[in-house]
Amino acid sequence: MDADVRSVLSAHGRLPIDVDTLSADADLYRAGLTSHASVNVMLALEDTFDVEFPDSMLRKSTFESITAITAALTQLGAATPSRV
């Protein structure tokens, strides 16, 4: 799942650095993730993993690191991407 999250982040996160150089716990906002880009990341994650983030997860902390994102996806029951 980590790899799929990274590919969504590199396609939609508009980070000024290569996503693969980031540790799973690195603070994505410090790395340049804007709230605009985080919305696009969210939409792409929902599409890729065929899930919908509930309101309770629509906050900054859900998207602050790759670990936090995978934890949220796991909690939503996302397994493998519905599309590759």
Partner 1 sequence: MSVISEEQGTQAIQPIVAAAQRIGVEVAAPAAEDVDARSRFPQEAIDAMRDAGLLRALIPVELGGLGCTLKEVASAVTELGRHCSSAAMVYAMHQIQVACLVRHARSPQLLDFIRDVADRGLLLASATTEVGIGGDVRSSTCAVLGQNGQFELTKQAPVISYGQYADAVLATARRDPESPPNDQVLVVCRRENLQLEEKSSWDALGFRGTCSLGFILRATGPRTDIVDDPYGDISSQTMLPVSHILWSSLWLGIATAASDKARKFVQAAARKTPGTVPPNALRLAELTNVLSQLHHVVIGTRTRYAEVADDPDQTTSIGFAVSMNALKVSASTLVVDIVQRALLICGMAGYANHSPFTLGRLLRDAYGAQLMVNNDRINANNAQLLLVARES
Question: Contact residues for partner 1 (CB under 8 A)?
Answer: 15-16, 29-36, 39, 42-43, 46, 53-55, 58-61
Q: Measured between alpha carbons, how far is 29 from 60 in angstroms, rounded to an integer?
A: 9
What's the closest the beta carbon of residue 58 comes to partner 1, in angstroms? 4
Q: Closer to partner 1 at the Cβ: 4 or 46?
A: 46
Residue 55, CA atoms < 13 Å, CB-side half-sphere? 0
- CB 34, min distance to partner 1, A: 5
Amino acid letter, residue 58:
L
- Structure tokens belonging to residue 55: 């309101």
